[in-house]
Structure 1
Amino acid sequence: MSSEISIKVENLSKCYQIYEQPRDRLKQFVMPPLQRAMGQAAKQYFREFWALKDVSFEVRKGETVGIIGRNGSGKSTLLQMICGTLQPTSGSVTTSGRIAALLELGSGFNPEFSGRENVYMNAGILGLSKSEIDARYDAILEFAEIGEFIEQPVKTYSSGMYVRLAFAVIANVDADILVIDEALAVGDIFFTQKCMRFLAEFKKRGTILFVTHDTNSVMSLCERAVWLQAGDRKAYSDSKTVCQSYLAEYYASSGSTQAVAETKVHAVRAVEDYRDVRQDFINASVIRNDLEVFRFSDTGEKFGLSKAHVVDVYLGSESGAPISWFVGGELVALVVKIHAEIELDQPIVGFLVKDKNGQHLFGDNTYLTYVDDAVSVSSGSDFAATFKFRMPMMPAGDYTIGVAIANGTQDNHVIHSWVHDAIAFKSHSTSVSTGLVGIPMIDIELQKNG
């Protein structure tokens, strides 16, 4: 295998024997040898199920590859054979470097052991000595953020705590290859984004195999993608091409429709305001984009010189009053309150909206508004930045808003505080069926020719 190749899969197949009844298993063990001894053709008492059939591909060092496909397509089976926890029926897998895997929930953990004991066992299996684990234990515990539960048996853990501890271990074992099988889907949004930031950093030095149903994540994180269908390798190419082909076939086979309650549609006209022409209709229907807002959290990850602190962040109505619910497509105010410990002669306050996978959706800052008339802030004073905008209609899911305070210019500034996940909000019902956000349609027309 070339030194530039991290994973090489050649003609990999996995067949399972499916028995209709328990006694058929005994028949298969006893009868064929007897039948052959009597000169008869051996009878087969099972049917074959090929979870993978003749799959081949290579992953280069430093590459991130996504694996997509419907449930039952063979994704998890493929990862287990790459990790060596499952033996293939035929074919081979060759890897170069230490592999750390996050497969099905709780794999690699003994439920009777405490979190601490499982850390030492799991990290030891991955090749670390006890002294190396001792040196990294505090970092693992800090990443997992499960506190005193580290001393409790993992059988008492929630699914989210399982994932926290398992990911914390693989993040601290100096792996060359990371294999992740959808396990992050059970974590809360703050931890999921923490993991996505780790993966973004790991991409710079290692190889990642990433199984997910989220094609947007594959297109944003991965250079290439493998599409599995019923055990076959349907495609292996750049991630955009593969994901587009996968979605095209998925929607074609499923009818690409989503049932919604019938609502009487009335004619609408273009409006002068920058507001979706269908907004009133959508707001009166079951697909109104209800967004639930959660309170500011000061416990998340942050960085900066800490000479100015973010003390509160909230979403408010047009008047700026805090709100806990609002509707996508309508005006909203994002308020960021800050305390300055030193004088800031050219403060810049900004925000960034991200989805659960850490993808940057949109954001802005105050720089261009005050580029010719900077507002200075004296030492020890409090100030606030307010951004008023129409919140795009958001697909269903979890989102966070990160905020930052800096001093200087757009190109040359000092960051005093960057809070990754200052507040979160959740999109419930929605009219958005594709894309990362739904932008307002000022007017929509159908014109007949002739």
Structure 2
Amino acid sequence: MSSDSGAAPVITVEGLSKVFRIYDRPRHRLQQLLTFGAKRYYREFTALDDISFTVGRGQAVGIIGRNGSGKSTLLQLICGTLFATRGSIAVDGRVAALLELGAGFNPDFTGRENVYMNAALLGLSRAEVDDRMDAILAFADIGPFVDQPVKTYSSGMFVRLAFAVIAHVDADVLVIDEALAVGDAAFGQKCMRFLRRFRETGTILFVSHDTAAVTGLCDRAIWLDGGKLRAAGEAKAVCEQYFGHIFAGDAPPVAEPSPTAALPTPEDAQTAPPAADRRRVAPEDWLDARTPWLNRTPLRNDIEVFAFDPSGADFGAGGAEIEDVRLTDDDGRPYRWIVGGEAVSLSVRVRALATLDSPIVGFFVKDRLGQTLFGDNTFLTTREPAGDGASLRAAAGDVLLATFRFPMPILPRGTYTLAVAVADGTQEEHTQHHWLHDALTFESHTSHAAAGLVGIPMLDIRLDRATVDAAS
């Protein structure tokens, strides 16, 4: 992976490898020293193997991979807390890191004392820390606990204080290793807002198992697998590859079915249980009160729907195949254009290539960054006590039709994709047989959504002059 700009990269990693020596017994370390290498008392473990990439100024790069893939080792090498076995690392600028919980903190010092010590390690003088202390403590928001020993802190308080320090040291590069996962939601949002502001002028290396956070924050991503660089590039594409690898596992391939002369029509396929009709919400119950006026203006949410693409990136064990995906009206006619807020039906046709004991069909709608906006699946519907779908089972060659009816949210202008999948099992334990990342693409050309990822129908909005009680 390389920087897109012509400017010199901030981080350059070339041929980087890190090999650890593993000793079975403590005495073997001494014996290794005394024999001057004549005999080996250790085993080698290669944590990183020939890693190369560059990161440009202003880029945010996510590093993803399974536990033990070398992510933390890579960050420690970049920060200088470990030394490489082979290869080189060059970093242009001041690096501030939030690696493991409690790193750089003395547990017997108070929070305030640790701020001084940690900031000094990051290159700030005591006078500079004094000038920024109020801002640091306001960001951490741990109240009087700042004057208590940090060994009494919870993990969340540790992260608050540590992040507050690195946010105020004028770093050129921020390195964050999964530490935000232990914070509360409100503080996590505060940190993400800071990181989005920081990336306007600085560089971010961000390790997380949350691919949604990576695609939301980062424009590039690196996937490490077993110490090797498995993929690098645009964040959404790399996260999709990683996601597919996790679910695909080592499932054996399924033989291709024999071709058939014609496919069954939707009316011939399995349909949702009758209870689905009773749960329908009448359109007038959720219609935005402004719709009649908005639909006569350029603010109408016009969404262009493109044709189903079966050739996109996919993965799965191969026990089923997604044959068709459509957005239709209530009569089954495919939409070419949709107005945000109106009722649509998502139709997903699946052919079983092997026996599916408990098939599940689901979907996600994602924005251009790969962030999931909404989605659902058929599991709960087919498992309800009164539903006939509880006994649904598909034999090889059967065709299933899943239908989801919902009001299309108001979508801000931009490009969106719809991922669909078919699995066998339960919500918690299942085998993904076919996951198609970008089955449908649609473009929101105009919109009145003022904020947020999606807009929802406003049943009523008012602004009235309040009546002031003279007695009050």
Could you tell me the TM-score, scaled by structure 1's length?
A: 0.59
Match of 1:102 in 2: 98
Name the CA shift for 1:53/1:133 in 2 (closer, same or farther; >3 Å).
same
Out of 260, 267, 273, the residue aligned to residue 268 of structure 1 is 273
Partner of 1:412: none
Partner of 1:23: 27
**Contact 2:172–2:203 (CA<8 Å) still a contact in 1?**
yes
Is 1:56 the counterpart of 2:52? The answer is yes
Counterpart of 2:464? 376
1:135 aligns with 2:131: yes
- Structure 1: how far apart are the matches of 2:84 and 2:113? 31
> 1:21 Cα deviation (Å)?
2.1
Question: Which residue of structure 2 aligns with residue 420 of structure 1?
Answer: none
Does residue 173 (structure 1) correspond to residue 169 (structure 2)? The answer is yes
Q: Which residue does the alignment assign to 2:68?
A: 72
- Output the CA distance in 2 between the equivalents of 1:16 and 1:380: 74
CA contact under 8 A between 2:111 and 2:146: conserved in structure 1? yes
Distance, in Å, in 1 between the alignment partners of 2:385 and 2:149 is 50
Matched, 1:111 2:115: no
Matched, 1:240 2:244: no
- Do the aligned partners of 1:268 and 1:278 also contact (CA within 8 Å) in 2? no
Counterpart secondary structure, 1:190: helix
Pair 1:247–1:45, CA change in 2 (3 A): same
Provide closer, same or farther for how the CA distance between residues 134 and 235 of structure 1 changes in structure 2, counting only shifts above 3 A: same
Residue identity opposite 1:132 in structure 2: E
* Aligned with 1:89 (options 80, 85, 88): 85
Verify the 8 A CA contact 1:25 1:45 in the aligned structure 2. yes
Query: Is residue 125 from structure 1 mapped to residue 121 from structure 2 by the alignment?
Result: yes
Query: Is 1:144 matched up with 2:140?
Result: yes
Deviates more, 1:208-217 or 1:21-30: 21-30
Shift >6 Å, 4+ stretches? 275-278
Distance in 2 (CA, whole Å) between partners of 1:94 and 1:16 is: 22
CA distance in structure 2 between the partners assigned to 1:190 and 1:197 by the alignment: 11
Distance 1:45 1:153, change over 3 A: same
Question: Does the 8 Å contact 2:7/2:56 carry over to 1?
Answer: no
Determine whether 1:206 maps to 2:206.
no
Query: Is the Cα contact below 8 Å between 2:119 and 2:169 reproduced in 1?
Result: yes
- What is the RMSD computed on CA atoms of the aligned residues? 2.9
What is the deviation of 1:200?
Answer: 1.3
Aligned residues, how many? 290
Structure 2 unaligned runs (5+)?
A: 253-270, 283-375, 387-448
User: Residue by residue, what CA displacement relative to the aligned partner does 1:205-244 show, whole Å, maximum 9, x if unpaired?
Assistant: 2110000011111112111111101111111111111111
- In the TM superposition, 1:176-195 aligns within 5 A as 176-195=172-191
Cross-structure match for 2:426: none
Partner Cα distance (1:132, 1:162) in 2: 22
Does the Cα contact within 8 Å between 1:351 and 1:364 map onto a contact in 2? no
**In structure 1, what is the Cα distance between the partners aligned to 2:199 and 2:456?**
27
Cα pair 2:20 2:47 within 8 Å, conserved: yes
The answer as to whether partners of 1:32 and 1:44 remain within 8 angstroms in 2 is no
Query: Could you say which residue in structure 2 is the equivalent of 1:7?
Result: 11
More divergent stretch after superposition (117-126 vs 245-254): 245-254
SS in structure 1 at match of 2:277: coil
Q: Classify the secondary structure of the residue corresponding to 1:100.
A: strand
Instruction: Assess, with a 3 A threshold, how the Cα gap between structure 1 residues 63 and 21 changes in structure 2: closer, same or farther.
Output: same
Structure 1 counterpart of 2:152, from 156, 165, 176: 156
- Matched residue type, 1:24: H
Tell me the CA shift for residue 4 of structure 1. Answer: 3.0
Aligned-partner residue type, residue 268 of structure 1 = P
Distance 2:175 2:47 in 1: 19
